[in-house]
Chains A and B, each alone.
Chain A
Amino acid sequence: MRGWVLPAAIFAALAVLPFLPLGAQSGFVMLLATRAMILGLAALSLDLMLGGGGLVSFGHAAFLGLGAYAVAMLDAAGMNDALYVVPAALGAAVAFALPTGAIALRTRGVNYIMITLAFAQMLFFAFGSLADYGGDDGYTLNAHTTIGGVRLLAHPGGLYAATLLLLLLAYALCRVLLASRFGRALRGVRQNRARMQALGYDPFALQLAATLIGGALCALAGVLLVNQAEFASPAYASWQRSGDLLMMVILGGVGSLHGAILGAAAVVALEEALSRVTEHWPLIYGPLLVLAVIFLRGGLAGIGAGIGKRRDA
């Protein structure tokens, strides 16, 4: 029973947020919430790999970059409809995930972390060298992505709604996947790789499939991110951003899926609040994250589950 209470509460809160009487602050809150949901989608896709398959990818932001540059490159060619943008983003993600994932999955532990980081950095520098798309300075979008010709994402409310819907669908998809035969086998590989091999499962194939799905979902987050910022930057694929995504998943609670959304919201809110206090906000942010990791076992989703448990008792 407890399993769906917290996620339902999260999505209900996100659904009513635009209708709250926030007055002059409302636009700003919507902006932050949209950003949190977009990064939440990216973190969710990483949690499918990390919480599902035990894959500590330190290069997941590469897929944000791929989604963003798919939009940017098609924008430069005058093609802005989701009909082209979404397949391009998904295709780019799969085309990148397939070879890099296949190579990275030959390794384990620290080596896997370093190889995923290296591939993402290659992409980061590749984006920075695209002179036609602004190079290191990034690329300013001419037009938002349209959906069937409708300029939905150009309006803050439309972008918010589209992001929320996509996040909800992605969340439901990830939950179904993790509960499926594929997901159960994937979780088995995380818990005991040799045991699963001895049962006839191919850990490589399972983890590669998780990488492809996770990468594709994250590329969709990249499409949304570039639409919100109206700007594509190589920084989307930077290792710092990959680290942020990992932090969101860990802070939220690995493997819970909705924890990744909470983690993303917490990181976005914390960055915003602390940057108002001091420009040296990472000095406070860093130690806070360390404390959270030490004391919040099970992450933010774990607190929620704990409250639910107490209520049940």
Chain B
Amino acid sequence: MPDPALSLRGLVKRYGALTVTDHVSLDAAPGAIHAVIGPNGAGKTTLMQLVSGFVAPDAGAVLLNGRDVTRLKPHRRARQGLARSFQLTAVLPEMSVRENVALAVQSRLGLRWGFLRRAAGDARFDAPADQVLARLGLADRADVPAARLSHGERRQLELAMALALDPAVLLLDEPLAGAGPEETARLVSLLSGLRGGPAVLLIEHDMAAVFALADTISVLDQGRVIASGPPEAIRDDPAVQAAYLGESL
């Protein structure tokens, strides 16, 4: 197994007396999809915030390609190769789909600043952006303001922005939430196409999708990892079945 691109070591987060993340340790290897599942309130979204740097942990460490990034702010982690999607889709509504992705390209190229030259229409950013959009099937929507996209298209756009960063690690926070059956099928095939690319840490409620996509699954319950392993092993794990209280896996 290659060295993990992302490694969490004993992450702890408490809100008052409530421990929402309880000594979570897990690794995500390049080219593989690591899914984190768990019942509502298990601490999945908090874990995502801890990894991406929007919430600071009380203890533990986040390692990105072996480097400790625990103290780094979100934008610094992004520059180290960490991309993410948000549970509630986060796009830039007033800008065109192409500009949304071009901003990601602009950041990847390290050209975030520049005061005189016009950014829109700059081929250095638009050409790679259009490539990613074509790959995600959004090419014909490139000129549409992001606000006018359907929910599923916004999910795709978020994915496009994340991929345009060419990340080492990709965090996906419930990428299928709120998508219809058709959109779900499209997104699942897009996500499975990511295998062999960045290390993917996926949080998802859609169990069919998780078991279809994941190489490794970790189960979170009350902030703790109660099981971790390949999908078949997780499906048969008694502790996991107890945590889900008979919900069919």
A residues in contact with B120, CB < 8 Å = 179, 184
Residues of A within 8 A of B54 (CB): 194, 197
Query: Which of B78, B90, B122 meets A200, CB within 8 Å?
Result: B78
Indicate if the CB atoms of B92 and A181 lie closer than 8 Å: no
Q: Are B52 and A198 in contact (CB under 8 A)?
A: yes
Contact at B119–A195, with CB atoms within 8 Å? no
Residues of A within 8 A of B (CB-CB), count: 23
Q: Mark B105-132, 1 if CB is under 8 A from A, else 0.
A: 0111001111111111010000000000
Contact B117–A181 (Cβ < 8 Å): yes
Residues on A with C-beta less than 8 A from B73 are 197, 202
Residue from A180, A181, A188, A198 within 8 A of B83 (CB atoms): A198
Within 8 A of A (CB), among B71-93: 73-75, 78-79, 83-84, 86, 90-93
Task: Give the CA-CA distance A195 to B99 in the complex, in Å.
Answer: 13
CB of A231 closer than 8 Å to a CB of B? no
Residues of chain B with a CB closer than 8 A to A119's CB: none
Q: How many residues of B contact A (CB 8 A)?
A: 35
Chain A residues lying within 8 Å of B116, measured Cβ to Cβ, are 176, 180
Given A185-B112, A188-B103, A199-B104, A194-B90 contact (CB < 8 Å): yes
Note all chain A residues with C-beta closer than 8 A to B92. Answer: 187-188, 191-192, 195-196
Report A-chain residues with C-beta under 8 Å of the C-beta of B113.
181-182, 185
Main secondary structure of the interface of A (DSSP, over half): helix
Residues of A within 8 A of B112 (CB): 181-182, 185, 200-201
Question: A218 → chain B, closest Cβ, in Å?
Answer: 18
CB contact under 8 A between A182 and B115, given known A191-B94, A192-B90, A198-B90? yes
Task: Provide the residues of chain A in CB contact with B104, threshold 8 Å.
Answer: 199
Question: In the complex, what distance in Å separates the CA atom of A194 from the CA atom of B115?
Answer: 23
Is B32 at the interface (CB under 8 A from chain A)?
no
Task: List residues 157-199 of chain A with CB under 8 A from any CB of chain B.
Answer: 176-177, 179-185, 187-188, 191-192, 194-199
Assembled-state Cα–Cα distance A198/B174 (Å): 16
Residue of A nearest to B52 (CB): A198
Contacts of A180 in B (CB 8 A): 114-119
Is B161 located at the chain interface by the 8 A CB criterion? Answer: yes
B103–A194 CB distance below 8 A: no
**Chain A residue nearest to B146 in the complex (CB):** A191
Could you tell me the distance in whole angstroms from the C-beta of A204 to the nearest C-beta in chain B? 9
Chain A contacts for B114, CB-based, 8 A:
180-182
In the complex with contacts A179-B118, A199-B78, A201-B107, A188-B165 CB distance below 8 A: no
The answer to whether B95 has its CB under 8 Å from any CB of chain A is: yes
Complex contacts, A195 vs chain B, CB 8 Å: 86, 90-92, 161
| Least CB distance, A102 to chain B, in whole angstroms | 15
Structural contact, A201 and B99, CB atoms closer than 8 A: no
Are B103 and A185 closer than 8 Å at their CB atoms? Answer: yes
State A198–B171 Cα separation when bound (angstroms). Answer: 10
**CB within 8 Å of A: which of B40-86?**
52, 54, 73-75, 78-79, 83-84, 86
Instruction: Indicate if the CB atoms of A187 and B94 lie closer than 8 Å.
Output: yes
Distance in angstroms between the alpha carbons of A202 and B75 in the assembled complex: 6
Chain B residues in 8 Å Cβ range of A200:
75, 78-79, 107-108, 112, 165
CB within 8 Å for A201 and B75 given contacts A181-B112, A184-B120: yes
Distance between B69 CB and nearest chain A CB, rounded to angstroms = 13
- CA distance in complex: A191, B75 (Å): 16
Question: CA–CA, A176 to B117, complex, Å?
Answer: 8
Query: Across the interface, which residues of A come within 8 angstroms of B83, CB to CB?
Result: 198
Q: Which residue of the partner chain, among B95, B161, B165, contacts A187 with CB atoms under 8 Å?
A: B95
Residue in A182, A194, A203 whose CB lies within 8 Å of B86: A194
In the complex formed, the residue of B with least CB distance to A203 is: B75
Contact A179 B86 (CB under 8 A): no
Closest residue to A213 on the B side, CB-wise?
A: B115
Please, how many angstroms separate the alpha-carbon atoms of A182 and B113 in the complex?
5
B183 to chain A, nearest CB (A): 21
- Interface hub of B83, B91, B113, B120 (most chain A Cβ within 10 A): B113
Contact of A198 with B118 at beta-carbon distance under 8 Å, contacts A181-B106, A184-B99 already known: no
Task: Point out the residues of chain B lying under 8 angstroms from A197, CB to CB.
Answer: 54, 73-75, 78
Closest residue on chain B to residue A176 by CB atoms: B116
The residue in B79, B83, B112, B116 that gathers the most chain A C-beta atoms within 10 A of its C-beta is B112
Q: Are A185 and B106 in contact (CB under 8 A)?
A: yes
Q: A179-B118, A195-B91 are in contact. List 16 more A-B contacts (CB 8 A).
A: A176-B115, A176-B116, A180-B114, A180-B119, A181-B113, A181-B114, A181-B122, A184-B95, A184-B106, A185-B112, A187-B94, A194-B90, A195-B92, A197-B75, A198-B90, A200-B165
14 of the cross-chain contacts (CB-CB < 8 Å) are A177-B115, A179-B118, A180-B117, A181-B115, A181-B117, A187-B94, A191-B93, A194-B54, A195-B92, A198-B52, A199-B103, A200-B112, A201-B103, A202-B75
What are the 6 closest A-B residue pairs judged by CB atoms, nearest first? A181-B114, A200-B78, A195-B90, A200-B107, A197-B74, A184-B119
